[in-house]
Structure 1
Amino acid sequence: MRAATHVHIASSWLHRFAKCLASGNVAATVSCLHPHGYLRDLLVFTWTPRTLHGPRPTAAYLADTLAAAAIVHVRPDARPGLAPEYGGLSDFLPLRAVSAGFAFTCAGGAGSGYFSLVACPEVGGEWRALVVMMRLEDIRGHEEIREVGGGCGEHTLAWSGVEAQRRAAIESDPDVLIIGGGQTGLNVAARFKQMRISALVVEGNRRVGDNWRKRYPTLTLHSPKKMNSMLYQAYPRTWPVFTPRDKIADWLEQYVETQDLVVWTNARPLPHPIYDGAAKRWTVVVDRGGTPVTLHPAHIVVAAGVLGAPRVPLVRDREVFRGVSLHSSEYQGGAVFAGHRVVVVGAGNTAADLCQDLVFHGARSVTMVQRSGTWVVSSSSARRLMERMYPDELGVDVCDIMAMARPLALMRKFDKVTERQMMEQERETHRGLREAGFNIVSGKNFLLRYYETHGGFWLDVGCAELIRTGKVKVKQGVELSCFLEDSVMFTDGSYIEADTVIFAIDDSTSYEGIRDTMRCVFSDATMDQVGPVWGVDEEGELRGVYRPTGHPGLWFAAGEFYQSRAFSKQLALQIKAIELGMLDSTWASG
């Protein structure tokens, strides 16, 4: 398709869509969408993220919200990368789309969006939107700070003194207490700072980044560096494509300084914070290095991850085992297990990394215990996919917008259509695994599995070849039944001699859910009001994170770097709206 043609298609559709929105005509607006199209609303029509699929649900949703949204001044987005483009929506689908970004003004303030148009045979080939994503960018009069001049008091005050006053004010009376100083908590804190929401981060470890330093030494992010960028601060051009554990830990530590975040290390909330519904404030006591400090934030954001405290599955007769048994969170490298017969329970990313590390360090034998099935893709294939989503030539914020315009419900449909092609691409890797007794499952790619279950996949960086060649053996379809003195027995009655057993399952079998772990901080009465945290709802939106939880003033933030970058804005806008009186605590209760 010639460039002039797809630019004309995009501008014509956007002009029509703008007129329909401004008129408040629900039927006309819905007619701009494909009969199987999606509308993803991120705080434009309501204050809760929604994804509507199909004309009837979309029309019903807009009937109560379109007029009040008051959407006007719809126009193309001039930012680089958001101009109309023609291309495939998926690597394997023949479906081609015209996609572009746009901006608008709504009742809440400024908004942005992204659409993908496909030719619709049901209406004579007319171009309609397979997906439209619309999100609130800023509340009018309370816009995110884009930059500051640097001089203080018209250059009459020293920055150090002004910064010391700001920190003292936050430390004594923060609007928000953020529990967790990993990448999620820091992204959220950085966003809040630019949104003029004062936030104090409490991190239980001695140093920021220790949540990474304490994990196994060979840990390296399996997604390329651009996907793992922090808000406002790109990595240097010389940064490794796949970031090692210690580099990301050190990067987070310096990020606190460069973003002027207020973080207390060696600090944690004591049981049990109390919420005053009349004052709309918490009373929470923080143990700061042994000194109790009482705070009264309006909001608490739990940013301690999706998975909570490590959990070692209960296996009978563990005390009789003469070897070593440990959780993967305690694993600090394979050198100490040289010469050992090691059983690794689990078949996800962590288990694969540990098996590879153990072989390299000379373990006598390594056996991976695979309970059910695992989705495996080579790291090179995953890298190509993710670098197409986050190409070098586009800004991270633009890539995030386009990622938000791919609802999980639509990704599920793509997977059903493209499963055969994807399996063919991984045919040689999967063949070697199957021949070694490993169970390969399909039907959902690693991104969907991550969002839905947080496990059940691995991105292969070498373990598949070790399994194929027999250097890592597979025990499939069973679980540990009991320990013996120098071996472990399985539910099928078989056993393996072992000196070391490592539990490395990347899901709730080996970790508590964060909601349950937080019961030791918050009371059961509080946490019983909180709904599910993580997984997806019936519309494909993530449950319980960056949105109301069921308890006023209590929020969860979790997920990959992209999630905290993009949806920290959603969380900030909701909290800002509450503080401005645009929303009340009844809404925030979910």
Structure 2
Amino acid sequence: MAVDPSQVSSSWIQKFGGALESGDIHATISCIHPKGYFRDLLVFSWNNRCLRGHRELTTYLINGLAKASVTDATLESRPGLTPEYGPLTDKLPLRAVSAGFTFKCAIGVGRGYFSLVSTELGEWKALVVMMALTDIRGHEEIVQEEGVYGGHTHAWGDVLTERRRAIEANPHVLIVGGGQTGLIVAARFKQMNISALVVERNNRVGDNWRSRYPTLTLHTPKKSNTMLYQSFPTSWPVFTPRDKMADWLEQYAQSQDLVVWTNSQPLPQPIYDSLSKRWTVMVDREGERVTLNPVHIVVAGGTLGAPRIPVIRDAEVFAGTTIHASDYRGGKSFSGKRVIVVGAGNTAADICQDLVFNGAQSVTMVQRSTTRITSRTSARVMFDCMYPEELDIDVCDLMAMARPLRLTMKIEKQAREQTLEADKATHRGLREAGLNLETKKTFLTLWYEKRGGFWIDAGCAELIRSGKVKVKQGVEITRFNDQSAVFTDGSSLEADVVIFATSCEGIADTMRTVFGDEALDRVGPVWGIDKEGELRGCYRPTGHPGLWFAAGEFAVSRPFSKQLALEIKAIELGLLKL
């Protein structure tokens, strides 16, 4: 039977919107599939929550439904959000009617998205509903300024200087970290009229990229890595090289009028006053100590902290060179050398490829457990489906936010065989070469559990298949001799260089040296997912007042910077108390 997505969507939103407006929990629940997901971002509580099934959702809405006072649920008209009928995912045959919608609530306005499936009785029920607060009434996000100041009597340079002076003297928020996450958060705060000062320990914005290995290129297409408010030029490469990203971040800070102190960092140990609800934090600014009293501190260091280097017995007797991957500056200096690379993730694969190209005598990858490997072609197809060029990035982000992580992981698991088949060419020969492929855990599971354990292949797989990169699997280095590394299986391998591509600490662990154990013990885990499938400790209350963490890739920081801004604005307005 033919399905009219507009008619199905209109009928459902009328019923769902009416139930929300009347405060009728039973009627609201009846619009949701018995195994459906309901994701709430700051509408019914000041947190991000994801409930599954009628029982969980009923318990959740008992206290929040009437208070939220949702009204005027209306279907969206923007391209990409109008009603459509098709596969819920390109990997499974399940079909759904999906659409976006807007609504009003007690304190502002919001946007949502739903995907409806037909039950055995022919009723359309929501497998997924997401509702997110987008603006607090009277404190809406600024779209753009007119560009004329003081009745056309003030020069822009003077306006900018005065704004910068006011922020530097008394920032409401101190953002620690001037990489892409910190800059995106700062740009969002600026448009939300939240004064924010960014401190970046490197000499220039973008140096967090410039300091990485020269051949580093983003493994995901440019659309998914768009900075907030500012798209890449149409001529920009599909996969962004290291130095282009570094320079783009530097100009981004300038074009977005962000206040950034480079060569600056907070000193141990900031003190939080629970009475004044402000921090006292000493910042080393280019060797000068400056005291600041922000209301909030946002640690925006991505997901990774200090390099993690294994402690290995007899390291001092090794005559060769040992470095962490974060200090790898390219393979030219290792031409003619015998190199061991410990690790089998994205970074390890890139470094092995670079070493071969630059003439290393031998390259051996030490794979300690398993690795999930996806071809760049497969990854591009996936990301292009999620971030098509014809749609605005905020539309793409809204639809991505509407897909609960628990559901996405379930879909990935169900489509595992299909995914493996698509990457069959990439995997061919890797097992014969000794690599142990991860086939059970999905990409998302590895990302949120381990922040690694996978690579998107850009050429290393072929080098392994051809024998130019050897694999030593299932072992670790247990000790060193003067000319070799000895492994846990008793074997040894002569080497001139050992590179540890062994990832980094979690950002919260690294921040213990700044904030101290007492503060970080209150924060709890940062990164990973909780039992509802929501990010732990990021863009949400951490357990310590005035201390927040922003982490994750571009596609996370773009939309969730808005959530963080709304929470801080709500505290300022007395709507949220921590």
The residue type equivalent to 2:111 in the other structure is S
**What's 2:452 paired with?**
455
* Structure 2 residue identity aligned to 1:385: M
> Which string of whole-angstrom CA distances, capped at 9 and with x for unpartnered residues, describes residues 508-551 of structure 1?
xxx22211111111122222211100000000000001011111
Counterpart check, 1:127 vs 2:152: no
Partner of 2:80: 81
Give the drift of 1:491.
0.4
Aligned to 1:200: 197
> Residues 273 and 522 of structure 1 are in contact (CA less than 8 Å); yes or no, is this contact kept in structure 2?
yes
> What's 2:514 paired with?
521
Equivalent position SS for 1:99: strand
Give secondary structure in 1 for the equivalent of 2:116. Answer: strand
Residue 545 of structure 2 is aligned to residue 546 of structure 1 = no
Which runs of structure 2 are paired with 1:95-494 in the superposition (5 Å)? 95-121=94-120, 124-494=121-491
Contact 2:409 2:444 in 1 (8 A): no
Q: How far apart, CA to CA, are the structure 1 residues paired with 2:443 and 2:146? A: 43
| Secondary structure at 1:309 match in 2 | strand
Give the Cα–Cα distance (whole angstroms) in 2 for the partners of residues 385 and 305 of structure 1.
Answer: 23
Tell me the SS of whatever aligns to 1:292.
strand
Residue 161 of structure 1: how far off its partner (Å): 1.2
1:80 deviates by: 2.0
Quick check: 2:342–2:367 contact (8 Å CA) kept in 1? Answer: yes
- 1:555 corresponds to which residue? 548
Q: Is the 8 A contact 1:415 1:444 kept in 2?
A: no
**CA deviation after TM superposition for structure 1 residue 112, in Å:** 0.2
Whichever residue aligns with residue 562 of structure 1, its letter is: A
1:445 deviates by 3.0
Q: Secondary structure at the match of 1:528?
A: helix
- Give the match's secondary structure for 1:433: coil
After superposition, the C-alpha distances for 1:538-581 in whole angstroms (9 at most, x for unaligned) are 00000001011111000000110011101000000000000111
Structure 2 match to 1:41: 40
Q: Secondary structure at the match of 1:432?
A: coil
How far apart, in 2, do the equivalents of 1:519 and 1:253 lie?
A: 28
| Shift of residue 311, structure 1, vs aligned partner | 2.3
Q: In structure 1, what residue type is equivalent to 2:79?
A: P
- How far did residue 179 of structure 1 move? 0.3
C-alpha distance in structure 2 between counterparts of 1:352 and 1:156, whole Å: 57
The match for 2:27 is 28
Cα drift, residue 130 of structure 1? 0.7
Indicate conservation of the 8 Å contact 2:277/2:295, yes or no. yes
Number of matched pairs: 578
The code of the aligned residue for 1:50 comes to R
Contact 2:313 2:479 in 1 (8 A): yes
What amino acid does structure 2 have at the position aligned with 1:555? Answer: W
The one-character-per-residue Cα deviations of 1:242-278 (angstroms, maximum 9, x if unpaired) are 0000000000000011100000001111111100000
Map residues 54-69 of structure 1 onto 2, 5 A cutoff.
54-69=53-68
Q: Bigger shift: 48-57 or 150-159?
A: 150-159
> In structure 2, how many angstroms separate the alpha carbons of the residues matched to 1:26 and 1:443?
39
Report how far residue 502 of structure 1 moved.
0.3
- Aligned-pair distance for 1:113? 0.3
Give 3-state SS (helix, strand or coil) of 2:431's partner: helix
Structure 1 residue 447: Cα displacement:
3.2
Cα deviation 1:358-411 (Å, max 9, x = unaligned): 111111111111111111100100000001100000000000000001111001
1:505 CA displacement: 2.1
Gaps of 5+ in 2: none
Quote the RMSD (CA, aligned, Å).
1.0
1:452, 1:548 → 2: CA distance? 21
- SS of 2:43's partner is coil
Deviates more, 1:568-577 or 1:7-16: 7-16
Contact 1:350–1:505 (Cα < 8 Å) also in 2: no
Deviations 1:475-511 (A, max 9, x none): 11111111111111110101111111000023xxxx2
Contact 1:368/1:473, CA 8 A, preserved across alignment:
yes
Q: Describe the SS at the equivalent of 1:239.
A: coil
Distance in 2 (CA, whole Å) between partners of 1:136 and 1:385 is 28
Measured after TM superposition, the shift of residue 78 of structure 1 is 2.1
* In structure 2, distance between residues paired with 1:133 and 1:320: 58
The aligned counterpart of 2:49 is 50
Residue type of the partner of 1:566?
P
**Deviation at residue 451 of structure 1 after TM alignment:** 2.4
1:567 is matched with 560
d(CA) in 1 for partners of 2:486, 2:110:
59
Matched residue SS, 2:248:
helix
Shift of 1:450: 1.4
Deviations along 1:44-81, whole A, 9 cap, x unmatched?
A: 00001000011110111111111111000110112221
Q: Secondary structure at the match of 1:434?
A: coil
**Is the Cα contact below 8 Å between 1:44 and 1:108 reproduced in 2?**
no
Judge conservation of contact 1:178–1:300 (CA < 8 Å) in 2: yes
1:222 match: secondary structure: coil
State the alpha-carbon separation in 1 of the partners of residues 419 and 232 from structure 2: 31
C-alpha deviation, 1:306, in angstroms? 1.1
Contact 2:210 2:243 in 1 (8 A): yes
Letter in 2 for 1:79: R
The TM-score, its normalising length taken from structure 1, stands at 0.97
Say whether the 8 Å CA contact 2:308–2:502 is kept in structure 1: no
Q: Distance in 2 between matches of 1:500 and 1:247?
A: 29
Return the alpha-carbon distance in structure 1 between the equivalents of residues 235 and 413 of structure 2.
Answer: 38
Could you tell me which amino acid in structure 1 is paired with residue 313 of structure 2?
R
